[in-house]
Amino acid sequence: MDYKKLIKNRNIRIKIMQLLSFVPDEWMVRLQYRIKLGRKLNLKNPQRYTEKLQWYKLYYRNPLMAKCSDKYEVRDYVRECGLESILNDLYGIYEKPDEIDFDALPNQFVIKDTLGGGGNSVIIVTDKATMNKTDVMNKLEQWVSEPINKKHPGREWVYDGKKHRIIIEKMLMVDEGADLPDYKFFCFGGQVHCLYHMRNYTFNHANGEMGFFDKDFNLLPVRRNDFKNIDIQPKKPMNYEKMVGYAELLSAKFPHARVDMYDLEGKIVFGEITFFNASGYCSFEPDEFDYNLGEAFKSTKFCGL
């Protein structure tokens, strides 16, 4: 069932999930898994990556994961790992929109919800002079007005009980194709297993292209249906091996983490750490890849999988 076609407005979908916050977490992830992927969720003996992500959400608790899911607090963790040099420049962290002194900001910058994910939690300001301040302030007010006791729609516990704040960072310079290609490393037990590379989606997610690669950056015959596919092997990024090393260092304390980075004109910039890729509700072609990732996601040392 393609629930997004049935309920096209994302905000309405989220409100429906929030109205169902009284439903126990396990029941909810079972229901969502059935609706979004069209099959029964196996939690007793999970084999697929998407199944193990649901198990991970429900039964594994490491407080450091909550810290790393906050776009401001994760900066401390990156510093603790000795990687302060890859952090983007920070202009400010704010509890309320009216604390922001826009006059003191440069002409270009990026505003983020510290607990947000996806395009609805990012505002890219390319020209402060033409920015619609009223629209921006209204959106920021929506972010910070979210109650801290509200259940995450996908039941991702790392966001529960945390306050939404506003973070403003330097806008990264686009490449010669007016893009910010990024690299999302799937790490299991502190080792990169594979990654996907995104391009042509920074300013318009509908144009986004995605390609899956093995650890050596060889293009894999794998795709996700929600993005256009990268069909031709691209050039390996200048600092690829360094990015692999940084991803493994940043993911070493977790059974599984997706570590995102940019490689821009020879400079690596940290993006984020995500623990529940697509909340565990994505389909792969071929379907076998779900099992391939599931096989990599095993570590009795961490969580009994």
Q: Is 19 among the domain residues?
A: no
Residue with token string 């890859």? 86
pLDDT at 164 over 60: yes
Read off the pLDDT of each residue in 26-30 and give the average, rounded to a whole number: 95
182 and 52 both lie in a single domain: yes
Task: Report pLDDT for 20.
Answer: 72
pLDDT of residue 180: 83
Rounded Cα–Cα distance for residues 298 and 45 (Å): 12
Share of the chain above pLDDT 90, in %: 76
Q: Do 187 and 218 share a structural domain?
A: yes
Give the 3-state secondary structure of the chain. CCHHHHCCCHHHHHHHHHHCCCCCHHHHHHHHHHHHHCCCCCCCCCCCHHHHHHHHHHHCCCHHHHHHCCCCCHHHHHHHCCCHHHCCCEEEEECCHHHCCHHHCCCCEEEEECCCCCHHHEEEECCHHHCCHHHHHHHHHHHHCCCCCCCCCCCCHHHCCCCCCEEEECCCCCCCCCCCCEEEEEEECCEEEEEEEEECCCCCHHHCEEEEEECCCCECCCEECCCEECCCCCCCCCCHHHHHHHHHHHHCCCCEEEEEEEEECCEEEEEEEECCHHHHCCCEECCHHHHHHHHHCCCCCCCCC
- pLDDT of residue 134 exceeding 60, the answer is yes
- Are 268 and 186 within one domain? yes
**Is 305 part of any domain?**
no
Which of 171, 203, 238 terminates a domain? The answer is: 171
Q: Compute the mean pLDDT over every residue in the chain, rounded to the nearest whole number.
A: 90
Same domain, 214 and 290: yes
Residue 147 has a pLDDT of: 85
Length of the chain: 305
At 153, the pLDDT band (50, 70, 90 cuts) reads confident
Is 74 a residue whose pLDDT tops 70?
yes
Asked whether the beta carbons of 282 and 304 are under 8 A apart, the reply is no
Q: Does 1 reside within a domain?
A: no
Geometric angle at alpha carbon 82, from 168 and 271, rounded to 5°? 35
Asked if the structure places residue 272 within a domain, the reply is yes
What is the residue range of 96's domain?
A: 89-171
284 and 201 belong to one structural domain: yes
From the list 296, 295, 294, the residue with the least C-alpha distance to 54 is: 294
Q: Would the CA dihedral through 50, 301, 295, 46 be positive or negative?
A: negative
135 and 193 both lie in a single domain: no
**pLDDT, tens only, 248-272:** 999 999 999 999 999 988 899 999 9
pLDDT of residue 22: 80
For residue 10, is pLDDT > 60? Answer: no
Of 109, 138, 171, the position where a domain reaches its end is: 171
CATH label of the domain that carries residue 213: 3.30.470
* Lowest-confidence segment of 19-23, 174-178, 220-224, 242-246 by average pLDDT: 174-178
Residue entry with tokens 């795709």:
223
User: Does 181 sit behind a cis peptide bond, omega within 30 degrees of 0 on the bond before it?
Assistant: no
Number of domains in the chain: 2
pLDDT single digits (tens) 196-216: 999 887 666 677 899 999 999
Pairing of strands 191-199, 182-188: antiparallel
Q: Are 195 and 181 in contact (CB under 8 A)?
A: no
- Whether 185 and 292 share a structural domain: yes
Find the mean pLDDT for residues 140-156.
Answer: 89
Q: How confident is the model at residue 302 (pLDDT cuts 50, 70, 90)?
A: very low
- Does 101 share its domain with 242? no
The pLDDT assigned to 300 comes to 46
Residue 71 lies in a domain: yes
- In contact, 269 and 183? CB cutoff 8 Å: no
